Amino acid sequence: MKLDKTHRLDEIAALINCEYHGDPAHPIVGLNEIHLVEAGDIVFVDHPKYYEKALNSAATTIIINKETNCPEGKALIISVNPFDDFNKLTRHFAPKLGPKTNSDNQNLIYPNVYLGHNVQIGKNVRIYPGASILDGTRIHDNVTIGANSVIGHDAFYYKKTSETGEYKVMHSCGTVTIEEGVEIGALCTVDRGVTGITKIGKGSKIDNQVHIGHDTVIGQNCLIAAGVAIAGCVIIEDRVVIWGQVGIASSIKISEAAIILAQSGVMNDLEGGKTYFGSPCGEVKEKFKELIALRSLPDFMRKNK
């Protein structure tokens, strides 16, 4: 991101209340991530593994959580938490602006948002254009819902009749609860419970194009990447991480702090604190061993004809 004008080092450091090393008039013209930086940009670094990469990058100002020698021609801003301070700067120079209409003193409801009957919305909620918040949904404080997401659609719950093979829908009378601090991306779908509650726990973050089935309960501080499909009646405990395009069968329990790698298929309960991969997924080390064995199978077959 390029700034609207050139700023001085001492000015930028004062915005985040940090000390600096370098010429007070050292120029700053942009803020960028490490893979995008150019001369004149600020970058942040908060892990020893990446100190040298940041210091030797094209960035000419580095927000860092370590006292170190300042490279020639550059400047350092010393921060206890570079990530937070970098966020303060990006929010200062590129704040999120609310809609011109449909806002009140507590929330930002963008145009073309549909709110159903008996919807409850807390404070500091942001709902982007095209989202549909259907009947009975409860949204707690500090929640963000992305554009064109649908919260509270009917459950995908059918009974097949033996006489004609026709599928008859089970009427959904349940609801959805989204707890405080949840962020839901664009084009997500969260089905209401059949008779109970589909719940997304406090602080969980959900990427774009994720589906969450009826009566599923997601714990606190979970991270779910794009393209994940979660069937009904799944229990996901706290601090679970699910990467892109994972599919999860119904009535599964995923225990606390499990990590599921991309494109895995979950068909059985998973223990907490472990990393999983594959379809059907298993512990990652065992699955990688299986892949190695499969790659060697053609050679094995040729040798044993």
- Buried b / exposed e over 1-15, threshold 16 CB at 10 Å, is eebeeebebeebbee
Backbone dihedral angles phi then psi of residue 96, each to the nearest 5 degrees: -75, 125
- What separation in angstroms does the CA of 103 have from each of 144, 193, 235, 271? 14, 29, 35, 44
Find the catalytic residue in 21, 140, 211, 214: 214
Active site residue 140: no
Other Cβ atoms closer than 10 A to 58:
13
Residues 235 and 245: their CA atoms lie apart, in Å, by: 18
Q: Which two tokens stand for residue 49?
A: 């593994």
List Cβ neighbours of 101 (8 Å cut-off, separation of 6 or more): 111
Q: In angstroms, how far is CA 209 from the centroid of its own chain?
A: 11
Residue 29 — φ and ψ, nearest 5°?
Answer: -120, -5
Catalytic residue numbers read 214
